[in-house]
Amino acid sequence: MKNILVVKLSAIGDVIHALPVSYAVKETFPDAHLTWVVEPTAYDILAGNPCIDNIILFEKKRFRTVRGFLEEFRPFRHELRARKYDAALDLQGLFKSAVVAKLLGKEIYGFSRESVKEKIAARLYRHKFKIDYNENIIVRNLSLVGYALNFSFDKSEILKKSPCFEICKKFKNESGKKRVLIAAFASEESKIYDKFKDVIRLLEGCEIYLCYGSESEKTRAEAIISGTSAKLLEKLSIKDMIDFIASCDLVIGNDSGLTHLAWAVNRPSITLFGNRPSHRNAYVTDKNLVVDMGKEIDARSIDKNDFCIREIYPETVANFAKRLLNG
């Protein structure tokens, strides 16, 4: 294999879960040229990765109008076809990602109709790989790539992984206290835990920061830390956030990109789940834990009106946190 293309467009957490693929490819084929197609929101997750030789941006919003499509399609196709690929791997499993892969030619690999998120996507793949849709997403990604490139992996290799990013050690902890980052927000309300103020109070004695993305999240974050010793973390770039997380003794949050970043840099984390299957969306290690409601959840049938995450006791979260912080 000389030229390999990976299509994993978004979101940040999903792209993080696909990063082990780049290391597996380069370990198996050290001289291979690896190109990755991604949307702008997740670009910084890939930029500078030593295992990725080229990144192609897919700016979806530019294709939404007829005029935009006519202006952008030819240049985008030309960039994709500038190199002849031996294999194109669609890890996303959406119609849009399958179309991107299809632009490259025949050797397209993806999940089978039973295994893919949008069944219509499977029609565009020449080679289809069948795996349980509810299998862990990291295992799914590596299994598809192993099938496409004819190599095997052991799950123990995931546990032994090195940090997925270079750390600059920009944010030093000189307080003498354990540093905890709380990622209190997520893309959907039903994924957001509402008792972080209680968790903060139960972790008295730690240096606790709360982060935010949008201005509305900032307002909510200020309300959470009000009356506690926690501090608001200034808004950081993704690169700086990676460095900050690397300085933390623990990250606690919802099923979102930041808790997955903690896993990616081998920092302790606790990820809270309600209406999503924790066994699929997080890879549990001795220092990367999950707290869920114990429900049997089919990843294909998510009830976005299920706010059961709010039933998790803050004492449960705090007890897990103390266990990790105290070794």
User: Burial, 113: exposed, middle or buried (Cβ in 10 Å; 0-12, 13-18, 19+)?
Assistant: middle
Instruction: Report the share of the chain in percent with pLDDT over 70.
Output: 98
Please, how many CA atoms are within 13 Å of residue 185, restricted to the half-sphere of its CB? Answer: 15
Q: Under DSSP, is residue 35 helix (H, G, I), strand (E, B) or coil?
A: strand
Q: Whose CA is closest to 274, among 193, 183, 186, 187?
A: 193
Residues 29-47 pLDDT 10s: 999 999 999 999 999 999 9
Q: Say how far apart CA 302 and CA 295 lie, in whole Å.
A: 12
Which whole-number Å values give the CA distances from 32 to 6, 29, 127, 149, 245, in the listed order?
A: 13, 5, 20, 11, 31
> What are the φ and ψ backbone dihedral angles of 217, each rounded to 5 degrees?
-65, -35
Interval 251-293: pLDDT, tens:
999 999 999 999 999 999 999 999 999 999 999 999 999 999 9
Domains of the chain: 3-159 (3.40.50.2000), 179-325 (3.40.50.2000)
